[in-house]
Chains A and B, each alone.
Chain A
Amino acid sequence: MTGSQKLFESKLEIINIGLPDFTLPFQQHETKFVQVDFRPGLQANAGACAKALLQTSLTENANQEVMEKILAARPAWTGMGIARDLIPGMRENTILHAGPPISWDRMCGPMRGGIIGAIIYEGKANTPDEAEELAAGGVFEFRPCHEHNAVGPMAGIVSPSMPVFVVKNETHGNVAYATQNEGLGKVLRYGAYSDEVIARLKWMEQTLYPTLKGAIEKAGRIDLKNIIAQALHMGDEVHNRNRAATSLFYRALAPWVVETAKSREVAVEVLNFINGNDHFFLNLSMAASKATLQAAQGIENSSIVVTMARNGTDFGVQLAGTGGRWFTGPAPVPDALFFKGYTKDDANPDIGDSAITETAGLGGFAIAASPAIVQFVGGQAADAVNYTLQMYEITAAENNVYQIPGLDFRGTPTGIDVRKVIEKNILPFIDTGVAHKNPGIGQVGAGVLSAPAEPFVRAFEGLFG
């Protein structure tokens, strides 16, 4: 029997691409159908499109290798150290920042603020003016965290004296670094550099750091993949909500702190600091994501995104198959809920390395797991579910460990395939905090945004150019 004759003998089951009214008779005639919400793809140059098509199986094979690496990664917190001692390529005058490379003159307010704060913290300047002069004067080299196996939220400033978490991908052996989270309010990562900011950084260096170092040395390791998986079941997406993950982390950590802290007072102080900061785990979820994705970097021909990062001016993308190349475009201003007294006019364009969580299948990609924060995306749990469902359209796999209870434990959409982003014109959905555009003020809101198209088009053309 031919295919068409079979059609006459079976029930029609229809995919309707276009005018929704055409499905009206299907309802009346008891015909199964699915309506496609069609949108034209992004415009990329024709040569790249043709080459992408031609290289389909080559790309697919590379992507499979990439996804195997990403899904097999097992990030764990294994130690503490000082940036200058651990981070490769970190020199005395190096300051790391979030996002793709950027020069001082193009930096946004909060990033400049963070750098001013770091210079003061390092004791290289006494006043903000002095620090600014040094920063502008070419004394320091500013480099992306991502190029030094590190990630930083918001401004993402890492200077040589700062303590860092060591997160090891135990499957592949690679290591990623992140600073300790300062908490909310006036903090360096939002570009604040007042005395209280510097004082807190000093406390973190002198009290928090040695205590955590002692604890992790005694514990050996704390499995971050496991904590993240459990946190997703407890309402976190580990980007804008880290309450459950921080709690789980606290439970895993507390006995070791009590056992190893210099004194009971220090133990209380450190544990209270962590307990008082719902975002303490964010830097660990970021480092875990980075350690996961690092393993896939440099696999030729792969169209999987391994970095999305913003410096408050540009949004940058890196692909597994294009080595260290950055593909950038202007960073958009997030759609946010603002704290009392602030509006979108106060908001800085999107900033931070934290989109590494989305790149690893967490954050906005896992927002369906986090009904507690749906006020950021329209207020209804269904909105969050739809955002996650949409991300399955542009990803290569469903996560084997990170799952969403509300989707019957379906794995989170993982591994952004830039080809799908172009073809379907669906851009990665990112949860984010919003910094004030002026240095020194701090966070003014939190919200969501769709990544801008330009860096993805460029990356696509870069891979298939």
Chain B
Amino acid sequence: MVVKGFVRKGEYHDSVTLMRVAKFLSEQAGVSDSAIVMATEENKHVLSAAGLAFPEIRNAVETDLIMVVKVESADKAEDLLAEASRELKARNKNSEISYQPKSLDSALKILPTANFALISVAGRYAGDEAMKALQRGLHVMLFSDNVSIEKEIELKTYAASKDLLVMGPDAGTAIINGVPLAFANNVRRGNVGIVAASGTGLQEASTLISNYGAGISQAIGTGGRDVKEKVGGLMFLQAVKLLLDDPDTKVILLISKPPHESVLKKIIAAVKNTGKPVITTFLGSDPTPILKAGLIPTITLDEGAWKAARMVMGRSAAESVLEVNQDISRTRAQLDTTAAQLTSTLAKTQQYLRALYTGGTYVGETQVLLNGKIKNIFSNAPWGESKIALDSMKSQFNTIIDFGEDEFTVGRPHPMIDFSLRNRRILEEARDPETAVLLLDLVLGWGAHKDPLAELIPVLREAQTIAKTAGRQLPIVMCITGTDTDPQCRSRVVTAIKECGVIVVESNAGAAYLVGKIVQSVRQS
């Protein structure tokens, strides 16, 4: 047996801690005797009497700590003393739970196993915070906008080298491991993997897939700039690669405004001949190179979503394409009938479409669908033959407005949360005798308005009353993006909106088709 110990000068511990660690030490295997005490004269006598004294004790004073152990070997004693020292320092950090940390680093102290950072602070700080998160090995979703493209490239290049994801900047939506991030919906889990450079596009596709009965494996948002030449699709490509390797992803759906030619080439090169079916919804882009590469191009978000859903529900690619195309034709035939009925109620002055959107992707999709079909479209986010709206605040001819553009959002919340500007505009359009039909979107899910009906229904009713008082009928067409498991519950919202006499169409593309028909018929009659 050897007696080994040490004296720590001026190290003070309360007696409860000392007793706790003394108990710990005495319970260790092979310990024949031990002590952890402050070096008071009395304690020193006790140690001597117990045969636990060692030379250094003689000069120790009552403010010094003595730790001593009696075991069979010196090595064993060293180990035990080291272990007891660690035990002496062990702290329970649970008491921090109520504290809100002020920085990433202190958050990591509370949740050291964190693997993901969701960043939504102002753009001028967001880039630096994202870099800090990457440097600490976290994947990042960067919801914030106003991050420079140079910073975006720096972040994504760094992330790619560390095999980390950077979704964004300006990534509104993602669903990772079934967890909705930022503006996202509660959707079924399943086997469609989505990569999207467009937030609302991702919401539309993922909810349509879920409502169709299929589900999402992963939905990765990249931010709209990712597919531009400068960023070169850095994250889009990495996300595609991940989904190709992901065993839960059976079908891949790619969503974007048309990627830059060079980026498109890289995407095609990455996905062709991989054995996994790939569907693209590159709104408004030429389908030829995509078809040539053996991928499935689609024109609208609903078409892409439904084809993907059908494919993971047991149909072959060819069957899915055929059947969904038939379904869409059938639906459109019904919408033609609806359009005819609505047109017949319109007054002579009512000629134009007024589309007021909160989801940016819809503004693009609607113009893609109406391009060439109706003339004189003005928009604050024009596409194709549309002209730029001279004044976003005032409609002229057919007008399609994106309320998510800067002129509406500086200094106020996103229009999916704050309805006030669009609500005012709805009433203005109702007063305008030239308004033939009103097209609105309503996006549900996390991040969006928690109780949209309370604000929207009175406005819809008032709009109809305004028109009626002026001797007109005002058709209102809406697409409502969401699922029944969303906090707002889509079916409940749809029922309430329909009760106001509003026509709710399953998808934005369907809604756009319907209003297009109405405006076309008005011009013909």
Instruction: State the A residues within 8 Å of B (CB).
Output: 2-5, 7-8, 10-19, 21-22, 24-26, 28-29, 31-40, 74, 223, 225-226, 229-230, 233, 382, 385-386, 389-390, 392-393, 400-401, 403, 405-410, 423-424, 426
Contact = CB atoms under 8 A, between A and B. Distances in A.
A10 B139 CA distance: 13
Given A18-B120, A29-B178, A36 B100 contact: yes
A456 to B, nearest CB: 16
Nearest to A223: B63
Given A16-B118, A18-B119, A400-B11, A34 B111 contact: yes
Residue with the highest number of chain A CB atoms closer than 10 Å, among B63, B100, B138, B139: B63
B96 A393 contact: no
B133 A406 contact: no
A320 B120 CA distance: 37
A26 B186 CA distance: 11
A385 B99 contact: yes
Interface string B108-141: 1011011111111110011001000100011100
A226 B101 contact: no
A426 B100 CA distance: 13
B447 interface: yes
B99 A389 contact: yes
Contact of A424 (B91, B103, B179): B103
Given A25-B179, A385-B99, A401 B92 contact: no
A39 B129 CA distance: 11
A26 B99 contact: no
Nearest to B10: A74
Contacts of B122: 40
A430 to B, nearest CB: 18
Residue with the highest number of chain A CB atoms closer than 10 Å, among B104, B116, B139, B184: B116
A25 B102 contact: no
A15 B108 contact: yes
A13 B138 CA distance: 10
Interface string B220-252: 000000000000000000100010011010000
B511 to A, nearest CB: 27
B40 to A, nearest CB: 12
A408 B89 CA distance: 10
Given A18-B144, A29-B179, A5 B446 contact: no
A409 B15 CA distance: 12
Contacts of B355: none
Interface in B1-49: 9-14, 17
A26 B13 CA distance: 40
Given A15-B104, A389-B96, A31 B111 contact: no
Contact of B99 (A18, A226, A386): A386
Contact of A382 (B9, B63, B98, B107): B98
Interface string B55-68: 00000010100000
A39 B102 CA distance: 7
B139 A401 contact: no
B121 A12 contact: no
A21 B183 CA distance: 10
A359 B12 CA distance: 21
B101 A393 contact: yes
Interface of B: 9-14, 17, 61, 63, 91-96, 98-108, 110-111, 113-122, 125-126, 129, 133, 137-139, 143-144, 162-165, 176-182, 184, 186, 218, 238, 242, 245-246, 248, 446-447, 487
Contact of B106 (A3, A226, A230, A392): A392
Contacts of A230: 12, 14
Given A12-B179, A17-B121, A409 B103 contact: no
A17 B111 contact: no
Contact of A408 (B93, B180, B182): B93
Main secondary structure of the interface of B (DSSP, over half): loop
A32 B14 contact: no
B490 to A, nearest CB: 16
Main secondary structure of the interface of A (DSSP, over half): mixed
Contacts of B177: 7-8, 10-12
Contact of A22 (B10, B101, B447): B447
A8 B103 contact: no
Nearest to B445: A25
A15 B176 contact: no
A401 B118 CA distance: 38
B161 to A, nearest CB: 11
A409 B14 contact: yes
B114 A34 contact: yes
B102 A4 contact: no
Contacts of B246: 5, 8
A35 B178 CA distance: 20
A406 B163 contact: no
Given A13-B115, A32-B111, A38-B103, 8 more contacts: A2-B163, A2-B242, A3-B163, A4-B139, A15-B138, A18-B144, A37-B100, A226-B10
B176 to A, nearest CB: 6
A410 B93 contact: yes
B192 to A, nearest CB: 14
B125 A15 contact: no
Contacts of B120: 16-19, 22
B324 to A, nearest CB: 28
11 contacts: A7-B165, A8-B242, A14-B114, A22-B118, A25-B186, A33-B111, A74-B10, A386-B98, A401-B11, A407-B95, A408-B95
A229 B182 CA distance: 47
Contacts of B91: 407-410
Contacts of A12: 115-116, 176-177, 179
A29 B179 CA distance: 6
A86 to B, nearest CB: 24
A223 B511 CA distance: 81
B139 to A, nearest CB: 6
A36 B103 contact: yes
A296 B11 CA distance: 20
B107 A34 contact: yes
Nearest to B193: A8
A7 B245 contact: no
Nearest to B164: A3
B510 to A, nearest CB: 28
Contact of B163 (A4, A392, A424): A4
B17 A409 contact: yes
A7 B176 contact: yes
Contacts of B121: 17-18, 38, 40
A13 B113 contact: yes
A24 B446 contact: yes
B395 to A, nearest CB: 32
A17 B14 contact: no
B143 A15 contact: no
Contacts of A28: 186
B114 A13 contact: yes
B115 A390 contact: no
A63 to B, nearest CB: 15
B10 A401 contact: yes
Residue with the highest number of chain A CB atoms closer than 10 Å, among B102, B111, B163, B246: B102
Contacts of B96: 389
Residue with the highest number of chain A CB atoms closer than 10 Å, among B100, B104, B139, B246: B100
Contacts of A38: 102-103, 121, 125, 129
B164 A21 contact: no
Residue with the highest number of chain B CB atoms closer than 10 Å, among A4, A5, A37: A4
A138 to B, nearest CB: 46
Nearest to B105: A393
A15 B10 contact: no
A279 B373 CA distance: 86
Residue with the highest number of chain B CB atoms closer than 10 Å, among A12, A74, A403: A12
A8 B175 CA distance: 11
Nearest to B185: A25
A34 B446 contact: no
Contacts of A386: 98-99
B178 to A, nearest CB: 7
A17 B129 contact: yes
